[in-house]
Amino acid sequence: MKQQIIRCTNIISDLTGFLHSLSYDGLFLLTDENTWKYSLPLIQEIPEIRFAKTISIPAGDENKTVDSLSQVWTFLSNSGANRKSLLVNLGGGMLTDLGGFAAATFKRGIRFINIPTTLLGAVDAAVGGKTGINFNGLKNEIGAFFPAMAVLIDSNFFKTLDTAHLLSGYAEMLKHALLDSPAVLDQILRFDLNTVDYHQLNDLLSESVLLKERIVQEDPTEQGIRKALNLGHTFGHAFESLSHAMKHPVAHGYAVAWGLVCELYLSFVKLGFDQKELMKIVRFIKENYGVFAFDCTHYSRLYEWMQHDKKNESSAVNFTLLRAVGDIAINQTADKKDIEEVLDFYRDCFY
């Protein structure tokens, strides 16, 4: 099913118009504690939203669990939802992942739409049809491909975000630019993150989301080119898992930013990615994202987490790498020795 991407100029009129274009039996709204407080007021004047049956779950990726999923299932069941109902997910990536999976599995699948309230959610989780929850200490271990009917993107939601949350989403935009072209990458690197122009951000975001959507349309279930979207994520997810184990969780986008450094270095070693381009990205990430601190005693655990990655098909760890900006090489592999060399490079650059 083709996912409709709606770049909103006015969230009230755009969402109202979209809801009026549909036929559904019951409207249900999923928020978390934060979006119920900060984001719901931006759309609550819409009658359909005001009278929708609503549930709010705890915020934060640590709540993307079976327990939270069960709460949503119970809410839908007790509230009389059926296979013709519509679920609206209003939140960041955690909420759209979990809400999408709840929709995919309730009554064997009900329709839903995503309204991402974070930059990360808009550019990453809300678009592309991946849904899921964390399980057994692993990110997105349980899930399904089940696209939203539509994703409504409005940068006005992002005005409530602090710099750290904006940067978390911006890392995914940087990843998309690396997959796209040198011209798009240059725009991303030159954007003023200290004094944010939200209109310009919406333009850059739309370009970024459309790149992802083109790739997803070509390969919806990640058998081929969609693996390109995992650039930075194999190391990034391992860093994220380590941060949780160390009781100092880092934001997903920050972990991806540090993962991009690692996977671009691996691209340099294995495919000849330009060293000047590599170091330009290293400087940008170091200046904006700081450092994730670990030492060589963590290497084995990081490697173990990478071996759990869903992209792996053999004993080697599978990566998406780049020959150059926009020149993508999927299904590249690295062994433990390669990965330890990359981690050494990362620590040399950042410490």
* Residue 87: alpha-carbon gap to chain centroid: 20
Residues 6+ apart with CB under 8 A from 348: none
Torsion of CA 192, 194, 196, 200, to 10 degrees: 10
Residue 115 burial (CB count, 10 A): 31
Q: How many domains does the chain have?
A: 2
The reported pLDDT for the residue numbered 313 is 62
Contact 95, 89 (CB under 8 A): yes
State which of 160, 191, 224 marks the end of a domain.
160
Where in the sequence is the domain holding 283, given as residue range(s)? 164-350
pTM, full prediction:
0.86
At 314 the pLDDT is: 60
pLDDT for the residue numbered 312: 67
Find the DSSP H helices in the chain: 11-20, 33-38, 47-50, 66-78, 93-105, 119-120, 163-180, 182-190, 198-218, 233-245, 252-271, 275-289, 299-307, 336-350
Regions of the chain short of the pLDDT cut 50: none
Residue the block writes with tokens 């005005």: 159
The residue from 102, 135, 160 where one domain ends is: 160
Task: Give the end of a domain, one of 160, 179, 211.
Answer: 160
Instruction: Write out pLDDT tens, residues 141-150.
Output: 999 999 999 9
What is the residue-averaged pLDDT of the chain?
94
Whichever domain contains 225, its CATH number is 1.20.1090.10
How does pLDDT run across 69-109, given as a tens digit for each residue?
999 999 999 999 999 999 999 999 999 999 999 999 999 99
Question: What pLDDT score does 181 carry?
Answer: 96
